[in-house]
Chains A and B, each alone.
Chain A
């Protein structure tokens, strides 16, 4: 279970990334954030976001129409 959950279902690029980043900024190192999204573009975008920022994408999965990303703050 992630430390925090961010529901951005229904929102489109770039809001899922921007809102996730904003929340990550408020979290302590090594805490985890689970992002729930419906934007299929978010799959590639969260991978790129984590690679570039140095945060860790612990998990990326799809449950029906919902994409879930677990990000650990490591940057």
Chain B
């Protein structure tokens, strides 16, 4: 987005690709763009998966030590060990999707569309494409392919740089 001269700018490094972890970068990126900032999002490692045409995002309890879900008027802890039970991932994912719907929270697909529409500068990490054997054709239209130097150039001129 280059609508205003002297606009402030923000860059976000997106490294995580789980459903819950996809929200903060897309929410902050789209909102910053709506507030007139020039926004760049650099998708690398597992974050790159968020640019795939078909998203099938999941939530796991594993590594989410603080995870708990609202249930029956209270909150139920979702311990790490739960992830070892077959089907637990599908369960936590569907619980999260229900919460998202119930609370009027946008889907990641919707936020991603808004990000593209707002002309956020999207950089897909070329090294990650090679590493995980993705083709540019697997990704949505719009991302520029680039690497660390491409990102650093943007970051060195940005007012806000986030790593998520």
Number of A-B residue pairs at CB separation under 8 A: 37
Interface residue tally for chain A (C-beta within 8 Å): 16
Contact A12 B105 (CB under 8 A): yes
**A-side interface mostly:** helix
In the complex, what residues of B have CB within 8 A of residue A18's CB? 30-31, 34, 114
Q: How far is the CA of A19 from the CA of B163 in the complex (A)?
A: 26
Contact B31 A12 (CB under 8 A): no
Interface residue tally for chain B (C-beta within 8 Å): 12
Contact with A along B93-125 (1 / 0, CB 8 A): 000000000011110000000100100000000
- The residue that B30 contacts in the complex, of A14, A49, A53, A75, with Cβ under 8 A, is A14
Contact B34 A12 (CB under 8 A): no
Contact B106 A49 (CB under 8 A): no
